[in-house]
Amino acid sequence: MNATLLRISLAVGLAAGLTACGQEAAKTSAGPKADQKAAAAADNGYVEKTFTSGDQASWNKALKDRAAAQNDYVRAKPL
């Protein structure tokens, strides 16, 4: 009688213990929201006319030209 009771309690304990193994891991967050591409022009009146909104190639070129313009050796011609 005692042995049967022990087996039953063991089986119940094991089943209860293993149910946690089937649970999905708790998710802390869904991560950041999806961002727009930088080439999508800002919705305001301050956008430079050097690129076409949504055109990645023209935006790349516009930003590259602007970065190159920081070179004062090129901007200031030697005397």
- Name the minimum Å distance from CB 79 to another protein: 15
Q: Candidates 4, 25, 46, 78: give the one binding another protein (CB under 8 A).
A: 46
63 binds another protein per the rule CB under 8 A: yes
72 binds another protein per the rule CB under 8 A: yes
Residues of this chain, 22-41, that bind another protein according to CB under 8 A: 28-41
Using alpha carbons only, what angle is made at residue 46 by residues 76 and 66, rounded to the nearest 5 degrees? Answer: 30
Residue (9 or 52) nearer to another protein, CB: 52
> Cα dihedral sign for 53, 63, 31, 43?
negative
66 binds another protein per the rule CB under 8 A: yes
The answer to whether 20 touches 35, Cβ cutoff 8 Å, is no
